[in-house]
Structure 1
Amino acid sequence: MIVWDSRQCSGSVYPVIVGTDIYGFIETRHPRADEDWYEGDAWALSIPLYPLYDDRDYESFGCLFGVRNWLGWTPTAAGRGLPADVSEPVRTDHANSARIDAAVHGCTWVSWAELRDLDMTVRPAARGVLQIQSGQDSSIRRYRIDDQWPDELVKLYRMPPVGTSPVGAPASRWEASGATLEYGPLTRLDVLGPGTGWEHVFGVMQALARRFGPDGVRLVVWFD
């Protein structure tokens, strides 16, 4: 099965031949790090992102970190680089990754305090995503939908039963011309909520925050 995605406006698709993967670590800050007597490192590696999260979901990458942001999210934490006080194991892992793989990019970080306070009703610039699965070869194409249905799709599959305009169109699934079409508007909850894999990351960070405080837990990530 070939999976397709869209970076551009309505109707434009491209094959994902070389994908983008995420790597990272959850770090915690020692509660006494600001006290004069404390001599250890302020931040310590707590747990790797994998196996808490091992997916390749560009909607969430764009939403959180501005990477593969084909739906036009306002990212939560894009392009911050490594924290100046990042723990030595994380600094070394990132340096080693960048040395052996020129594709490493997008290093950034986000605190649990920021993730905890996200408004999960926020939407991207796109109205939603239309996924088309062919009944002949099981290929999947995914289209960014803005303020109108792409003309070429209307020509191939007729006007969607959800209405003549995507504006206000609800999530729906239907059959047309031997294909299965599924449309849905997106919010942060759709790409970060239960069932996405991110709930495991957030759950661990929330638990750690009970010991280290919401600003004392952060996720450091990069991509290739």
Structure 2
Amino acid sequence: MGTDIDGVIECRSADGHWQLEADLLDFRPPRDYDAWECLFGVRGTGDVQRPLFAARGLPQDISEATREAAVGDWQHSHTYATWPEVAAVDWDEPLAAGPAWNRALRRDREGEDLVRVTPGLREAAAATFGGDLLLAPPEWPPGGEVHLDGAVYRPVVPTARLLAPPDEGCWAQVWRTMRELAARHGDEHVRLLVWFG
């Protein structure tokens, strides 16, 4: 059984009350466990040691509309991010102390992509570097690359830009909407709240 994301963008009005401004589902977020692990510490492969906005719960002063949508028997892993926090993210900062165990960079004629490490790639690493164990990228020697099926694989340290690119897909739209709302309401008066179910 999979996990789904839900959430809202809220703005604080002149009277100090938070109001629901946009429904996250309107941005059509895909079921992207890598992005969710990076941003909110939910699901993923376990390669992210420092998610950006994880396990914060919901603020006490959420709007009534948000409370009705977010608080129930099946919702979990509530968290939030303010616009100033999102705007301050260094998208290239490592989110782990070393290379990912379950991810590698794959380069071929078509370009470079972040891919999941397969048993075949671990076997190819063992054959390349010696040994009879299946070798994950952190176990490859420094600078080590594995050639497999016309592509070159190398270890990668996860970053937010790799796992949840800020200028692509639904998250680019979410950040753009928050930026536009902050220009109207003020930076401190815009926040994203998410939960999972």
**Structure-1-length-normalised TM-score:** 0.66
| Residue aligning to 2:159 | 187
CA distance, structure 1, for counterparts of residue 105 and residue 172 of structure 2: 24
Residues 51 and 95, structure 2, Cα contact 8 Å, conserved in 1: no
- Is 1:43 matched with 2:18? yes
Residues 130 and 181, structure 1, Cα contact 8 Å, conserved in 2: no
Per-residue deviation at 1:184? 6.1
Rate the CA distance shift 1:110–1:166 in 2: closer, same or farther, 3 A.
farther
| Residue aligning to 1:211 | 184
- Is 1:116 matched with 2:87? yes
Where does the alignment leave 5 or more consecutive residues of structure 1 unmatched? 1-17, 35-41, 133-140, 145-149
- Is 1:62 matched with 2:45? no
- Is 1:26 matched with 2:9? yes
Per-residue deviation at 1:81? 1.2
| Residue aligning to 1:10 | none
Letter in 2 for 1:29: R
Per-residue deviation at 1:220? 0.6
Could you list the per-position Cα deviations for residues 118-155 of structure 1 after superposition, in whole angstroms to 9, with x for gaps in the alignment? 011112225141389xxxxxxxx8239xxxxx854424
CA distance, structure 2, for counterparts of residue 204 and residue 223 of structure 1: 21
RMSD: 3.2
CA distance, structure 1, for counterparts of residue 154 and residue 122 of structure 2: 16
Per-residue deviation at 1:195? 2.4
Letter in 2 for 1:91: R
Within-5 A mapping of 1:40-189? 42-69=17-44, 70-95=46-71, 98-99=72-73, 101=74, 104-125=75-96, 126-128=98-100, 129-130=103-104, 142-143=116-117, 152-155=123-126, 158=128, 165=140, 167-168=142-143, 175-176=148-149, 185=156, 186-189=158-161
The share of aligned pairs that are identical, in percent, is 31
Please identify runs of 4+ aligned residues in structure 1 that moved more than 3 A: 150-153, 157-160, 164-170, 179-184
Rate the CA distance shift 1:210–1:151 in 2: closer, same or farther, 3 A.
closer
Task: Indicate the SS of the match to 1:190.
Answer: helix
Letter in 1 for 2:88: D
CA distance, structure 2, for counterparts of residue 88 and residue 130 of structure 1: 43
Residues 59 and 71, structure 1, Cα contact 8 Å, conserved in 2: no
Letter in 1 for 2:173: H
Per-residue deviation at 1:50? 1.5
Where does the alignment leave 5 or more consecutive residues of structure 2 unmatched? 107-114, 130-134
Rate the CA distance shift 1:184–1:213 in 2: closer, same or farther, 3 A.
farther
Residues 62 and 73, structure 1, Cα contact 8 Å, conserved in 2: no
Letter in 1 for 2:31: R
Task: Indicate the SS of the match to 1:107.
Answer: strand
Residues 79 and 108, structure 1, Cα contact 8 Å, conserved in 2: yes
Rate the CA distance shift 1:207–1:187 in 2: closer, same or farther, 3 A.
same
CA distance, structure 2, for counterparts of residue 166 and residue 206 of structure 1: 43
Could you list the per-position Cα deviations for residues 87-109 of structure 1 after superposition, in whole angstroms to 9, with x for gaps in the alignment? 001100113xx33x3xx310111
